[in-house]
Amino acid sequence: MPKKTLKQLQVNKEWCKGCGICVAFCPRDVLSIKDGKVNIEDIDSCIECGQCELRCPDYAIYLGGKNK
Amino acid sequence: MKRGNIKLMQGNEACVEGAIAAGMRFYSGYPITPSTEIAEISAAKLPRIGGKFIQMEDEIASIGAVIGASLTGLKSMTATSGPGFSLKQENIGYAAMAEVPCVIVDVQRGGPSTGLPTSPAQGDVMQARWGTHGDHPIIALSPYSVKETYEITIEAFNLSERYRTPVIILMDEVIAHMREKIEIPDENEIEIVDRLKPKDKAEDYNPYEINDGDLVPAMASFGEGYRYHVTGLVHDINGFPTNDSKIAESLINRLTKKVEENTQDIVKYDEYFLEDAEIALIAYGGTARSVKSAVDMARKENIKVGMFRPITIWPSPEKQILELAKTVKKIIVVEMNLGQYYLEVDRIAKKSTDVYKYGRVNGELITPDEILSYIKEV
Amino acid sequence: MPSQIVDDYFRTNSLPHIWCPGCGNGIVTRSIVKAIDNLKLDRDKICIVSGIGCSSRASGYLDFNTLHTTHGRALAFATGIKMANPNLDVIVITGDGDSAAIGGNHLIHAARRNIDITTIVYNNNIYGMTGGQYSPTTPRGDKGTTAPYGNIDTQFDLCDLTTSAGATYVGRSTVFNPKLIVKLIEEGIKNKGFSFIETVTICPTYYGRKNKKGNAVDMMKFLRDQSISINAAKKLDEDKLKGKIIVGELHKSIRPEYTEEYKRLVNSF
């Protein structure tokens, strides 16, 4: 199911500054902060709403990868 | 000489005519005496020749808009006088740092502050050199006649394009409002210099990289497909800000060197009766007219004086002034301030000869008679 | 690897950006490129012009023609660009201090001219780059390092200001609602005239800490709870609107655009 893979939640820990905005506003509690960085806690609950990506100030979390 | 090309005009008008001949297609300004005619004439002419004129909300906005317009590829100019020149300084520094060609006309008037708005002065000589903060190159030219104003304005555009630097035209109220007959040359007789455009493809373009030993980088215009960054911060060859001390040093040194190392290509000057002179008078702009008359009067009395007239004020014609200092017994710098260019001449010449100053700041012209008296006194 | 939108429109080698943890500026910046992407604009024709301050660093991260000017002067430079080449899409990124204090004159006159520039203010209610001094949008009573006993100044409403000055499209959103930011910017760019979008953003490091507003999450919740849409706000009296952030399209009008007027003048000869 490549389409599903493309939309999957991606995290770039190097860019994450650990502000916690994505964690706080995730409607399904998918995320947590671990060692100062965002961590995907429960990917199965993710509904791919993209709220985290919209509000991440650091472009460290997003849906899908690069379309190649 | 074609009769139709002979015109009677004032210095401010000649400045606009020269600018248009040089390719000026953008003018933004703010009204200020005694430069206002430059804006008025630009407002009348530019819309008719495919150019743009805009009166901005203040002096700072005027130079800002000029820099923005130049980045799109249009040759751009603004004009002002002392108070406005002070206000523009930060953005003149920006143009020097970001290497954006532009021409700033400063029709000098009595200062400081609001000073003597309708009276001539030459008190902005040092402001032209050091008005903005930091070390930076500057080119400043000072015409002494209406005809020369026309020529110098073309030269100012050419130098700004060639060296990617702001060029200042230091006029004064005398030259700005004086009317003289001038002959406008044919278009094909005028040498026009345009900025160097990049040869690289957009993806290979580094906006501040120099090539072939030239200290001036090639400049793309916004909208041409070279998407690059311009900042007043210290930047690397890609235009991006950096705090790297090595890059900072090499950038500021390159900016300075691109003018300093080309001083002899840039400087223009005029000599009058200097061959056998024992006393050299140094003067520029409107004051040089009185000095020239004083030289004529002195020669009639068999006093061996001559005049050296820098047309390029900055960078100063250091080599020429030094040579002069070695051949004359005395140098007198005559200017409508309390000794600004005198400082520069004294720095260059004092080891070789005595340097005197004759200045005035009351808004009245220095007359040939009093210069002659001072020559005798010295 | 960054997301598609970031990879497409950012100079990714200059990321991560310099903004503090929890700073909302990154949210606004992403919203700008999202709007540009939605409109399918020719990126070679886009000029992003910014002033000085935290917000104005955004220009350097974006892969367009970008110009980082002097403090307060972005609109002056931008006016020169738009006037010189009206085919360019000119977008100004500025902050509350940059646009409303040192650059206030340029803001009202750009609005008065109705020149086709879209201005996006990142309003964080403070001077961040210099360490937290009160700005023209710091609410009365709030603290800054230069208002240690509380700000006695009155807060500027920049949307009211630009509406009065003649802007033809004015809107406001907060970083809690990026989708609205995107929509407003899209409409702003489409508007042939001066468009002004105020984005209320958060500065947890200075404004937040100085005023005990909590962390980034607390400040985002505050924006969520205080926001009220313009339509809802119309039904409430002034008392109930105190402290609320009115969001949405606040003003739309039709007036001649400056560069079009210039063109008309030229064509009249």
Query: Nearest CB to B229: which of C66, C79, C83?
Result: C66
Nearest to C247 by CA among C155, C128, C124, C157: C157
Is there a contact between C11 and A59 (Cβ–Cβ < 8 Å)? no
Task: Please tell me the distance in Å from C165's CA to the nearest CA on chain A.
Answer: 32
Write the DSSP assignment of chain C as a string of letters.
---HHHHHHB-GGGPSPSPPTT-THHHHHHHHHHHHHHHT--GGGEEEEE-SSTGGGHHHHBSSEEEE-STT-HHHHHHHHHHH-TTSEEEEEEEHHIIIIITHHHHHHHHHHT-SEEEEEEE-SEETTTT-EE-TTSPTT--BTTBTT---SPPP-HHHHHHHHT-SEEEEEETT-HHHHHHHHHHHHHSSS-EEEEEE---IIIIIHHTT--SHHHHHHHHHHHEEEHHHHHTS-HHHHTT-EEEEEEEE-----HHHHHHHHHHT-
Chain C nearest CA to B252, separation (Å): 18
Say if B and A touch: at least 3 Cβ pairs within 8 Å. no
> Would you place residue B212 in the very low, low, confident or very high pLDDT band (cuts 50, 70, 90)?
confident
Measured between alpha carbons, how far is B61 from B65 in angstroms, rounded to an integer? 6
> Which amino acid is located at B161 in the chain?
E
Question: Whose CA is closest to C100, among C156, C58, C140?
Answer: C156
CATH code for the domain in which residue C222 is found: 3.40.50.970
Average pLDDT (B91-98) is 98
Closest CA to C211 of C152, C155, C149: C149
| C109 interfaces chain B, CB cutoff of 8 Å | yes
Residues of chain C contacting A13 with CB distance shorter than 8 Å: none
So what's the pLDDT on residue B3? 65
Determine contact: A6 vs chain C, CB below 8 A.
no
Q: What is the H or E stretch that residue B264 is in?
A: helix B263-266
Q: C159 φ, ψ to 5°?
A: -70, -40
Average pLDDT, integer, range C18-23:
98
Residue pair B57/B65 in contact (Cβ under 8 Å)? The answer is no
For residue C86, give every residue at least 6 positions away whose Cβ sits within 8 Å of its Cβ, in sequence order, or none.
C116, C259, C260, C263
Does the pLDDT at position A33 exceed 90?
yes
CB contact under 8 A, B52 and C83: yes
Set of chain C residues whose Cβ sits within 8 Å of the Cβ of A22: none
Give the pLDDT of residue B64. Answer: 98
- Provide the b/e sequence for C93-119 (b: ≥16 CB within 10 Å): bbbbbbbbbbbbbbbbbbbbbbbbbbb
Binary contact (B65, C83; C-beta < 8 A):
yes
What confidence score (pLDDT) does residue B2 get? 62
Q: C175, A55: Cβ pair inside 8 Å?
A: yes
Look at the block and give the residue holding tokens 């402290």: C243
State yes or no: pLDDT of C41 exceeds 80: yes
Q: Let me know: does B304 contact B355? Beta carbons within 8 Å.
A: no
Residue A65 has a pLDDT of 57
Structure tokens at A29: 């509690």
pLDDT at position C137: 98
Q: DSSP class of residue B367?
A: P
CA distance C47 to chain A (A): 22
Contact status, residue B84 vs residue B92, Cβ threshold 8 Å: no
Band (pLDDT 50/70/90 cuts) for residue A7 is: confident
Rounded to whole angstroms, how far apart are CA atoms B49 and C81? 19
C185 at A interface, C-beta within 8 A: no
Q: Whose structure tokens read 């849409």?
A: C229
How many domains is chain C built from? 1
The C-alpha angle B360, B365, B369, rounded to 5 degrees, equals 95
CA B67 distance to own-chain centroid: 17
Match 């001094």 to its residue by tokens.
C133
**Out of B183-187, C57-61, C110-114, C224-228, least confident range:** B183-187
pLDDT at B125: 98
Question: What does each C-alpha distance from B265 to B101, B165, B294, B321 come to in angstroms?
Answer: 18, 15, 30, 16
What's B366's DSSP letter? P
Confidence of residue B4 (pLDDT cuts 50, 70, 90): confident
* Domain enclosing residue C152, as ranges: 3-267
- Residue C1: band (very low, low, confident or very high) from pLDDT cuts 50, 70, 90: confident
- Single pTM value for the model: 0.97
B160 pLDDT above the threshold of 50: yes
d(CA C54, CA C60): 12
Residue of B nearest to C13 (CA): B240
Say whether the peptide bond before residue B241 is cis (omega within 30 degrees of 0).
no
For CA atoms C47, C66, C6, A30, the dihedral sign is: negative
Question: In Å, how far is A60's CA from the nearest CA of chain C?
Answer: 7
pLDDT tens sequence across B340-368 = 999 999 999 999 999 999 999 999 999 99
Out of B69, B230, B232, the one facing C80 most closely (by C-beta) is B69
Instruction: Collect all residues of chain C within an 8 Å Cβ-Cβ radius of residue A20.
Output: 22, 215-217
pLDDT at B201 over 50: yes
Residue C208 in this model has a pLDDT that exceeds 70: yes
CA distances from B85 to B56, B100, B110, B337 (A): 15, 18, 13, 17
Rounded to an integer, what distance in angstroms lies between the CA atom of residue C185 and that of residue C28? 10
What tokens does C160 get?
């009211």
Chains C and B are touching, with contact defined as 3 or more CB–CB pairs separated by less than 8 Å? yes
Q: What is the DSSP string of B28-56?
A: EE---TTTHHHHHHHHHHGGGGT-EEEE-
CATH code, A7-65: 3.30.70.20
**Strand A31-34 relative to strand A37-40, pairing:** antiparallel
Are C85 and B91 in contact (CB < 8 Å)?
A: no
CATH code that applies to domain B3-189: 3.40.50.970
At C222, give phi and psi (nearest 5°): -60, -45
What is the mean pLDDT of the segment spanning B65-92?
Answer: 98
pLDDT averaged over chain C?
97
For B109-152, the pLDDT digits (tens) are 999 999 999 999 999 999 999 999 999 989 999 999 999 999 99
Residue C180, pLDDT above cutoff 50? yes
Exposed/middle/buried for B189, CB within 10 Å: 0-12, 13-18, 19+? exposed
On chain A, the residues whose CB falls within 8 A of the CB of C11 are none
Report whether pLDDT(C179) > 60.
yes
Pull the structure tokens for residue B194.
Answer: 């345009």
Counting as contact any 3 or more CB pairs under 8 A, the partners of A are C
Phi, psi of B35 (to 5 degrees): -105, -5
CA of residue B364 relative to chain centroid, distance: 23
Q: What are phi and psi of B32, to 5 degrees?
A: -160, 130
pLDDT tens-digit map of B32-74: 999 999 999 999 999 999 999 999 999 999 999 999 999 999 9
Query: Confidence band (pLDDT; 50, 70, 90) for A1?
Result: very low
> What is the rounded average pLDDT of the residues C96-106?
98
Q: Hey, what are A16's tokens?
A: 């994450």
pLDDT category, A3, cuts 50, 70, 90? very low
Q: Residue A26 pLDDT more than 80?
A: yes
Q: What is the pLDDT of residue A4?
A: 47
Q: B269-377 adopts what CATH topology?
A: Rossmann fold (3.40.50)
Q: Is B239 helix (H, G, I), strand (E, B) or coil?
A: coil
Give the residue from B259, B276, B285 showing the smallest Cα distance to B324. Answer: B276
Q: Do C27 and A57 touch (CB under 8 A)?
A: yes
